[in-house]
Homo-oligomer: A and B are copies of this chain.
Amino acid sequence: MAKGITKRSEDYSRWYLDVIAQADLAEHSSVKGCMVIKPNGYAIWEKIQGQLDKMFKETGHVNAYFPLFIPESLLRKEAEHVEGFAPETAVVTHGGGKLLEEPLVVRPTSETIIWSTYKKWIQSYRDLPILINQWANVVRWEMRTRLFLRTTEFLWQEGHTAHATAAEAEAETRQMLEVYRQFAEEYLAIPVHTGVKTESEKFAGAVHTYCIEAMMQDRRALQAGTSHNLGQNFARAFDVTFQNEDGVSDYVWATSWGVSTRLIGALIMAHSDDNGLIVPPRLAPLPVVVVPIWKSDDEMAAVISHVRELTASWKGKIDFKVDDRNQYRPGFKFNEWEKRGVPIRIEIGPKDIENKQAVIVRRDTGEKISIAQDQVLQVVLQKLQEMQEALFKRALEHRETYSFVVDDLEDFKKRIDEPGGFFWVHWCGAQACETKFQESSKSTIRLIPFDAQKEKGKCIICGSPSQQRVLVAKSY
């Protein structure tokens, strides 16, 4: 085993925390449930932010910022919403040394503060749509926390849009889910299923919640992003009406959608191995590290100067770093960059210089090739692209291997624990049957797929007629 990293096969949970510790991504803080995101972890978040922000802007959204605090009375305006979130809030009761007249809730999500503001902004159809996103911290009082996956405070983005018609709101909800799907598959290199949450799993206050669900290496599901069609629920709660083109007054239609630092957890759990972190090249803060190799101090200066010369022309074409620290041996450096998930390592020693060669090592496969120095940049760019695709393919194959179509309850129960995975089963739609999954095997209906073909069958729990299969799995 790599130093300090438990094997996945031994203890998957321990492995996850070891990878985070060895790659120096995050740690628990002295504040219960809150994490410190260390520079290596935050750099991945910056890459995620940068790409998502671009995709949000390309789809017409702008950023804004709303207050951290929500007066308790505002949170209470939407009945389902407050029921869902009130139990997990942090509440400010004192400010400036005095007891507040009204307690302030630290935002668990911002629908209420934002819709109380939109009321002032919207009078007519001409004020619509409003397409706003916010990058922010939110707080949900969690009892059981796990770095990145579930923490009391986390970083996220939350889109909050307002529309003149139900159809527009629905199109927006679907569009943003598609942005998340594309980001997950093309950047995180994680294949996802898309679909609708059941009534009991949907966002508190939504009409429909759409989601992307990914399979981790331990074959559990992870919800990686959600997009909510809020209908007119929040407009009604906050009395936000508008005059439509015909001069008729109606409530405004709403959506909200978000992804969080949880995505870093997904990235770690989907790709990393027993040697440590693996980061998909398109989200790697440092895609390439060059390790010059020398034995004597005499060699050192020559090798470093050769490497500097070779890499001088790479600037602006690729992000890389030359690790010329003298106090560490090459083996130590290889190990360190491996644990940190740098996709490509380039080794250049005196022999390589003599042969006008360099050694290129791919993090995911360990593939090691010697190539001519004048081709290094070109080959590295190609290898990064290959690795991005290979990670996605590997994750997809893993998911396919552990996805099962089952019709027999005993068969399902036998396999949900071992090997585990994604189970496509018929479900009648009754909540009573839904809860049986949880009771019998701690699994849940992850989603009702958008693209499932209609298929007559019988609910795996009660035998009643069913029109299509749903996805059931254990989840994070």
Binding site for B on A (CB under 8 A): 27, 29-31, 34-39, 41-43, 45-46, 62-71, 74, 86-97, 103-104, 106, 113, 116-117, 120, 132, 136-137, 139, 141, 143, 152-153, 155
- Contact (Cβ within 8 A) A62 B43: yes
Pair B96/A93 contact, Cβ less than 8 Å? no
Contact of A69 among B34, B94, B155 (CB under 8 A): B34
Min C-beta distance of A126 to chain B, whole Å: 8
- Please report the C-alpha to C-alpha distance between residue A71 and residue B64 in the assembled complex, in whole angstroms: 30
Of B46, B70, B96, the residue contacting A141 (CB under 8 A) is: B96
- CA–CA, A42 to B70, complex, Å? 20
Of B29, B46, B91, B116, which is within 8 A of A67 by CB?
Answer: B29
* B88 x A91 contact (CB < 8 A): no
Having A30-B117, A35-B67, A90-B104, one finds 16 other A-B pairs with CB under 8 Å, namely: A27-B120, A29-B113, A29-B117, A31-B69, A31-B104, A31-B113, A37-B64, A38-B64, A39-B62, A86-B97, A92-B93, A93-B93, A94-B103, A96-B143, A106-B106, A136-B137
Bound-state CA distance A71–B103 (Å) is 19
Complex: how many Å from CA A326 to CA B466? 52
Q: In the complex, how many angstroms separate the beta carbon of A337 from the nearest chain B beta carbon?
A: 17
Residues of chain B contacted by A64 (CB below 8 angstroms): 36-39, 41-42
Assess whether B92 is in contact with A31, with CB atoms less than 8 Å apart: no
B residues less than 8 Å from A69 (CB atoms): 31, 34, 90, 153
Please name 29 pairs of A and B residues whose Cβ atoms are closer than 8 Å in the assembled complex, sorted by A: A27-B120, A29-B67, A30-B71, A30-B74, A30-B113, A30-B116, A30-B117, A31-B104, A37-B64, A37-B65, A38-B64, A39-B63, A42-B63, A42-B64, A42-B65, A43-B63, A65-B155, A67-B153, A68-B106, A68-B137, A87-B97, A89-B95, A90-B94, A92-B106, A94-B103, A95-B152, A96-B141, A97-B141, A106-B106
Least CB distance, A96 to chain B, in whole angstroms: 4
CA distance A46 to B68 in the complex (A): 19
- Are the CB atoms of A95 and B91 closer together than 8 Å? yes
B residues in contact with A90, CB < 8 Å: 69, 92, 94-96, 104
Q: Which 10 A-B pairs have the closest CB atoms?
A: A96-B141, A34-B67, A39-B62, A37-B65, A91-B94, A31-B67, A95-B141, A93-B93, A90-B95, A31-B69
A90 to B62, CA, bound (A): 30
Query: How many whole Å from A272's CB to the nearest CB in chain B?
Result: 21
Nearest-CB distance from A84 to chain B (Å)?
Answer: 14
- Please report the C-alpha to C-alpha distance between residue A87 and residue B94 in the assembled complex, in whole angstroms: 11
B residues near A66, Cβ cutoff 8 Å: 29, 36
A302 nearest CB across to chain B (Å): 26
Please state if A39 and B132 are interface contacts (CB–CB under 8 Å). Answer: yes
Instruction: Decide: A46 and B34 in contact? CB cutoff 8 A.
Output: no
A88 contacts across to B, CB distance below 8 A: 96
Distance between Cα atoms of A179 and B153 in the complex (Å): 31
Report the minimal beta-carbon distance from A447 to chain B, rounded to whole angstroms: 28
How far apart are the CA atoms of A336 and B277 in the complex, in Å?
Answer: 51
Which residues of B are found within 8 Å of A34, using beta-carbon distances? 67-69
Q: How far is the CA of A113 from the CA of B71 in the complex (A)?
A: 26
Bound Cα distance A45, B65 (Å): 10
Q: Assess whether B31 is in contact with A70, with CB atoms less than 8 Å apart.
A: yes
Residues of B within 8 A of A96 (CB): 87-90, 141, 143
> Would A68 and B143 count as touching, CB distance under 8 A?
no
What is the CA–CA distance of A284 and B141 in the complex, to the nearest angstrom? 40
Query: In the complex, which residues of chain B have a beta carbon less than 8 angstroms from the beta carbon of A132?
Result: 39
Q: In the assembly, what is the distance between CA of A89 and CA of B98, in Å?
A: 10
Complex-state Cα separation, A355 to B186, whole angstroms: 49
Closest to A130 in B: B39
